[in-house]
Amino acid sequence: MMRTDARPGADLTEAHELAGALRHALNQVLRGKPEPVRLATVALLSGGHLLVDDVPGVGKTLLAKTIARAAGGSFRRVQATPDLLPSELTGVSIFHLAGNEWEFRPGPLFANVVLVDELNRATPRTQSALLEAMEEHQITVDGITRPLPDPFFLVATQNPFETAGTFPLVEGQLDRFTIVTEIGAPDAGTERELLLGAGGDAALNELEPVTDPVQLAAAIAAVRTTHCAPEVADYTVAIANATRANGNIAIGASPRASLALLHAAQAHAVLEGRTYVVPDDIARLAVPVLAHRLVLRDPGRLEEARALMHSVLQTVPIPRP
Amino acid sequence: MTDPQDIIELRIATCIAVVAAAIAALQEGAATGSLWIATTVGLPVACFIGYRVRATRPLPLRMLQSIIAILILVLFVSRIGHVTDLAALQIPLAQSFLWLLVLHALDMPNRRGLLVLLVASLVLMALAGVLSISMAIAPWLVIWAFAALVSLVLAYRAELEELPALGRAAPTFDRSSVLVPLGVLVVVLAVGFAVFMVVPVAGTNRAITFPAQLPNDSPVRSNGALVNPSLGPSDPGSSNGSSKSGATSFGYFGFSDRLDTSLRGRPDDTLVMRVRASSPDFWRGQTFDQWDGRVWHLSDDTPRLVRNGEPIGVPRVPLDGPTQTAVDVDDLTQTYYLEVNGPNSIFAASEARKVYFPERSIFQNVDGTLRAGVRLDAGAIYTVVSERPLVTAATLRAPRPDTLPLDIATTYAARPITTERVRDLAHTITANAPTTYDKVLAIEAWLAANTKYSLDIPRLPKGADAVDQYVFVDRRGFCEQIGTTLVVMLRELGIPARLGVGYAPGERNPFTGLYEVKASDAHAWAEVYFPGIGWQTFDPTANVPLAGDSQLDAAGSGALSYLSARLHIPTDVLAALPILAGLITLVLAVRQLRRRPRRVAISRSWASTRLARLERLGTRRGRPRAPSETTPNFVRALGSIAHQHATDLARAGATIDAAMFAPDPPTSDECDTVDALLDAIEAEWTTRGHPEDLVPSGRAPGTRSGR
């Protein structure tokens, strides 16, 4: 698709169309799950990363594979196990005898969409190897920094109820996921349709990419130009402050967290066809963007953080100019 | 919070505004007896009834209203049957309008009804302003403005409280929210003043009929005799014409059959009349032809009856100007509104050609000036159309055939009675002046250089010649002395001249556009005959330009000096105010532009008030908005109450959010859609019981059309 229109906002229009196409494709495969699909689309368009946190068998991997397929570009999948080494993610340099030189063999992180399945089964050492990749979109091996493809979108899954042989993600790493979502079991009707062949893997096999890495990168760049009124920024800050002031929360949302919330809200606005952020974008994304970053006084599961975040949100008034 | 339509104070304020505007309009001539009662009694009663029945709106009352409204319309149509021009529609239209207002006051279920009434009162006020010739509407204007303001504030109290500067919602004081309305006010004032200063004077010449009215029709004693009640006992028309003191009244003793220049009366500042005219001129009452050295007389005081069509056409007299003037003429229409009982002279700029007068007949003096056959008391109105040769200095100097009509030469150019040294002086002064016009200017210049203008001059000694005394002895004098001297000297030179008496133009009130003529504007001047042109007025003391030189002024010209004289503020200070206001406006505008486009600020306050309305609706239906609830969530909740509006509500919420947070405000169409929706829901939830019952069949609750 050639860009023929240089009007400001034309980029946003294209981004909106692209986001809509992505969401539609995801909904085709992951039937009856509009909210996880919405959040996945937002995470992708905001230039962040997605962690799917749910029990096995509800379609975590399916969601990640569908995103990869719909987004086009290269896709790599890593199954995390306790013996997974960092270099198996990043790649290694191998000495080439014939050419008498070192040659870098890129690891699976060198792809547009990377699925890391059961991330919490990898060792902390391997998990932290992901840090640089997720934050900087680059990898340093043997002192040489190599950029990752653009766009770079990492989808990780984890099973919150699996405890044996797992290494819960450290806070710094959780902070690097823009959005953490669950999927949940489908309702009876959707499950029946699934059994009868609608959606699921069958739909995934028929799915054609709706975009390519170049367009997607342009869309992600365009999303950042979405207008944000000062009042909306104030509202975002107020929410972050409210988490810091809450007695049940040991460590509230960091500035990086509020920035991620704003970027996610921009993506959401574009998905909804707007060129500006409204408080509703912020409010709808506050829980999935912020909850997993909170450190509670009584450490508990993500469920509790979500509930707490939800109650914090009720205390922050919507801005009225 | 109480809804605006339930606030009794709002109803009272609106009622007062309407009654004030109606009275102002009635005062200016739209009145009949029944209308006075309808306005002063009917309107308040109707407002009260309208308040009582606002919720029920009984059907019989509304049917009655419709029937009466149709009757009023039929009456109006029947009354305008014989009206030929639009101006005459003004009064019947206003009267019908007032009746309809009374009817409307009976049925004002909501805020919009009240606002319609308020707008109607504005129309009435404007009508009163158009009809007004004086500042008499000012008190009503003040009352109306105050009541209307109170009414507006009450009607929009809810919205006003949403304003950051006034509301409890946002305690932080935002200066821009005060500066913006202040700036708007300043801009409105500045623009209004500028328009006022630029718009040309409304000409009266376009009208087809002119006002004419007499308070009574008591005839004067003999046919066309001059009466002047303003002179009191010195009125020559009154029974004892002996006393000539004159100083006891405000009247000018020039409006008489003789003008004794030895008398020293000083008229006061009583407002004598108002004159509506598009340019200033001398409002002439009559002229004198005979001079005996001390007193001016009329050689022939036997006016002839003029009785012809309507308007009365004024016939030309032998002593008048030529039938064909050598220069262009224009019509100057003057309408005279008498404020006190005055002489029965019909004032006119020379030369009157048509008179709109309530009586079918008037009288004409031998010099062409006019008198009424009835007393002209306070309240009398008449209109004169005068024909003025458009002379300039050049046309007056131009050589013309020196053929004086015989009548004019014998009556006005005969050798005058005066002293030898005055005669010599006249010849000396004008020795180097080639034309009549230059001679007049030379005498005026000599008088200006050698005498002083003064109202305080000594009494004329017995036996002294008035002109000689003024020119050689006192060397002080006023219009009578100056005018008389001009006439005497010109006659000595063989130039026909006479003394005109009347009023100087007076001061133009820039707000009414009328010249306000005071008793002290009474005046005497010289009139000089130019062959081929006619009589021209010369007066060095009054600043009246030659007809051909006078320009059309702006409607507001003189506003500054008029205000400065009354407010005792120097003109330049007053002139600086609009300039200052303009500068402040500019600074405010620049600041506003630099901070944020103002339309964004306007659109935000719009959104805030609409969201507040939604909140009130929600509260009324038991679904208040939580402070942390976003607009889409809230309108979704409202949509589950008013199912049939769910889709529209969602769109309204989006528009409101856009108005608040988008870089570009929504279009006015989108805003109108929101307002219409709010009105619809408000009306539904006000008049009927349960919107749940109103779900249209075939459409499930919460159904959204795919927009």
**B207 pLDDT exceeds 50?**
no
pLDDT at B86: 55
pLDDT at B253: 62
pLDDT at A257: 92
Residue (of B282, B289, B349) closest to B319 by Cα position: B289
Instruction: State phi, psi for A14 to the nearest 5 degrees.
Output: -65, -40
Mutation site for B-interface testing, chosen from A236, A262, A270, A280 by largest number of B Cβ within 10 Å: A280
Is cis: bond before A319, omega within 30 of 0?
no
- Helices A279-290, A255-271: inter-axial angle, 10-degree rounding: 130
- Whole-angstrom distance between the N-terminal and C-terminal Cα of chain A? 40
Residue B9 to chain A, least CA–CA distance (Å): 30
With CA atoms as reference, the chain B residue closest to A275 would be: B662
pLDDT at A5: 38
What six digits make up the tokens of A118? 């059961």
Looking at chain A from residue 162 to 181, which residues have their Cβ under 8 Å from any Cβ of chain B?
Answer: none
Beta bridge partners of B534: B530
pLDDT in tens, B229-240: 655 554 444 433
With CA atoms as reference, the chain B residue closest to A283 would be: B630
Nearest CB to A279 within list B608, B630, B662: B630
d(CA B346, CA B214): 13
Q: Assess contact for B331 and B385: CB atoms under 8 A.
A: yes
Q: Looking only at Cα atoms, what is the longest distance across chain B? A: 115
Which of the four pLDDT bands, split at 50, 70 and 90, describes residue B259? Answer: confident
Beta bridge partners of B332: B386
Helix (H) or strand (E) holding A288: helix A279-290
- Give the single-character DSSP code of B40: I
Which of the four pLDDT bands, split at 50, 70 and 90, describes residue B29? Answer: low
d(CA B296, CA B639): 93
DSSP character string of B331-381: EEEEEEEE-S-B-SEE-BSSSEEEEE-SSSEEEE-TTS-EEESB-B-TT-E
d(CA B612, CA B584): 33
**A216 pLDDT exceeds 70?**
yes
Asked if A316's CB is within 8 angstroms of B658's CB, the reply is no
Asked if B628's CB is within 8 angstroms of A317's CB, the reply is yes
Asked if B630's CB is within 8 angstroms of A280's CB, the reply is yes
Determine the residue type at B166: L
CB contacts of B657 in chain A (<8 Å) are 278-280
For the segment B77-88, the average pLDDT, to the nearest whole number, is: 62
pLDDT at B599: 61
More confident residue, B396 or B188: B396
pLDDT in tens, B547-580: 666 555 555 566 667 777 777 777 677 777 767 7
Looking at chain A from residue 92 to 131, which residues have their Cβ under 8 Å from any Cβ of chain B?
Answer: none
CB contacts of A231 in chain B (<8 Å) are 660-661
**B139 pLDDT exceeds 90?**
no
More confident residue, B225 or A290: A290
pLDDT in tens, B327-350: 788 888 888 988 888 888 889 988
pLDDT in tens, B567-615: 777 767 777 776 777 777 777 767 655 555 556 667 777 888 888 888 8
pLDDT at A4: 37
Q: Beta strand A249-251 with A295-296: parallel, antiparallel or unpaired?
A: antiparallel
pLDDT in tens, B464-512: 888 888 888 888 888 888 889 999 999 998 889 999 988 888 888 877 7
| Rounded (10°) CA dihedral B508, B512, B513, B517 | -40
Pick the CATH number of B229-553 from 3.20.20.450, 3.40.50.10490, 3.30.420.40, 3.10.620.30: 3.10.620.30
Helix (H) or strand (E) holding B37: helix B33-37
For the segment A99-109, the average pLDDT, to the nearest whole number, is: 83
B41-54: b (≥16 Cβ within 10 Å) or e: ebbbebbbebbebb
Asked if A320's CB is within 8 angstroms of B661's CB, the reply is no
Range picked from A174-178, B35-39, B373-377, B694-698 for highest mean pLDDT: A174-178
Residue A170 to chain B, least CA–CA distance (Å): 32
**Would you call B239 helix, strand, or coil by DSSP?**
coil
What six digits make up the tokens of B201? 């004077």
Residue B164 to chain A, least CA–CA distance (Å): 8
What six digits make up the tokens of A197? 């062949």
d(CA B290, CA B287): 10
Asked if B633's CB is within 8 angstroms of A279's CB, the reply is no
- Burial of B455 per CB tally in 10 Å (0-12, 13-18, 19+): exposed
Asked if B170's CB is within 8 angstroms of A283's CB, the reply is no
d(CA B176, CA B85): 51
With CA atoms as reference, the chain A residue closest to B629 would be: A318
Q: Domains of chain A (ranges plus CATH)? A: 1-184 (3.40.50.300), 226-321 (1.10.8.80)
Asked if B661's CB is within 8 angstroms of A279's CB, the reply is yes
pLDDT in tens, A162-200: 777 788 887 777 888 999 998 888 888 888 887 877 777
d(CA A174, CA A288): 12
Mutation site for A-interface testing, chosen from B159, B628, B634, B707 by largest number of A Cβ within 10 Å: B628
d(CA B249, CA B383): 27
Residue spans of alpha helices (H) in B398-548? 406-412, 420-429, 436-450, 466-468, 479-492
**A265 pLDDT exceeds 90?**
yes
d(CA A133, CA A176): 10
Q: Which residues contact B289 (CB under 8 A, 6 or more apart)?
A: B297, B298, B299, B367, B411, B412, B498
Asked if A278's CB is within 8 angstroms of B630's CB, the reply is yes
CB contacts of A227 in chain B (<8 Å) are 661-663
Asked if A315's CB is within 8 angstroms of B626's CB, the reply is no
With CA atoms as reference, the chain A residue closest to B603 would be: A321
Residue B628 to chain A, least CA–CA distance (Å): 4
What six digits make up the tokens of A246? 């809450």
d(CA B30, CA B23): 9
pLDDT at B215: 64
Q: Which residue's entry shows tokens 């006019």?
A: B370
Nearest CB to A276 within list B627, B628, B662: B662
Q: Is A232 on the interface with B (CB under 8 A)?
A: yes
More confident residue, B163 or A91: A91
Beta bridge partners of B500: B287, B525
CB contacts of A320 in chain B (<8 Å) are 169-170, 608, 611, 660
Percent of chain B at pLDDT exceeding 70? 73
pLDDT in tens, B407-442: 888 888 888 888 899 999 999 988 888 888 899 889
**B671 pLDDT exceeds 80?**
yes
pLDDT at A45: 93
With CA atoms as reference, the chain A residue closest to B632 would be: A280
Nearest CB to B604 within list A275, A315, A321: A321
Residue B583 to chain A, least CA–CA distance (Å): 29
- Whole-angstrom distance between the N-terminal and C-terminal Cα of chain B? 35
Q: Beta strand B361-364 with B370-372: parallel, antiparallel or unpaired?
A: antiparallel
Asked if A280's CB is within 8 angstroms of B660's CB, the reply is no
**B182 pLDDT exceeds 70?**
no
**B181 pLDDT exceeds 70?**
no
Looking at chain A from residue 267 to 306, which residues have their Cβ under 8 Å from any Cβ of chain B?
Answer: 274-280, 283-284
d(CA B707, CA B699): 16
CB contacts of B658 in chain A (<8 Å) are 274, 276, 278
Nearest CB to B627 within list A274, A284, A318: A318
Nearest CB to B629 within list A231, A277, A318: A318
Is cis: bond before B351, omega within 30 of 0?
yes
Q: Assess contact for B221 and B256: CB atoms under 8 A.
A: no
Nearest CB to B611 within list A229, A283, A320: A320
Is cis: bond before A182, omega within 30 of 0?
no
For the segment A138-153, the average pLDDT, to the nearest whole number, is: 86
d(CA B133, CA B176): 41
Which of the four pLDDT bands, split at 50, 70 and 90, describes residue A266? Answer: very high
- Burial of B358 per CB tally in 10 Å (0-12, 13-18, 19+): middle
Residue (of A203, A160, A264) closest to A32 by Cα position: A203
Asked if A318's CB is within 8 angstroms of B631's CB, the reply is yes
Determine the residue type at B617: L
Residue B174 to chain A, least CA–CA distance (Å): 11
What six digits make up the tokens of B234? 């010195």
Residues of chain A by 3-state class (helix, strand, coil), percent to 5: 50, 15, 35
pLDDT at B175: 52
Count of CB contacts below 8 A, A vs B?
Answer: 61
What six digits make up the tokens of B32? 């009949």
CB contacts of B172 in chain A (<8 Å) are none
Q: Assess contact for A48 and A264: CB atoms under 8 A.
A: yes
- Burial of A210 per CB tally in 10 Å (0-12, 13-18, 19+): buried
pLDDT in tens, A22-71: 999 988 888 888 899 999 999 999 999 999 988 888 888 888 888 888 98
Mean pLDDT of chain B: 76
With CA atoms as reference, the chain A residue closest to B662 would be: A276
CB contacts of A283 in chain B (<8 Å) are 628, 630, 633
Residue (of B78, B140, B73) closest to B100 by Cα position: B73
Mean pLDDT of chain A: 86
With CA atoms as reference, the chain A residue closest to B164 would be: A321
DSSP character string of B658-675: HHHH-SSPPPHHHHHHHH
Asked if A316's CB is within 8 angstroms of B608's CB, the reply is no
Range picked from A167-181, B108-122, B313-327 for highest mean pLDDT: A167-181
Q: What does each C-alpha distance from A17 to A265, A273, B473 come to in angstroms?
A: 17, 8, 104
What six digits make up the tokens of A265? 């809200």
d(CA B621, CA B619): 5
Q: Where are the domains of chain B?
A: 4-155, 162-200+564-595, 229-553, 598-694
Nearest CB to A316 within list B607, B628, B657: B628
With CA atoms as reference, the chain B residue closest to A239 would be: B628
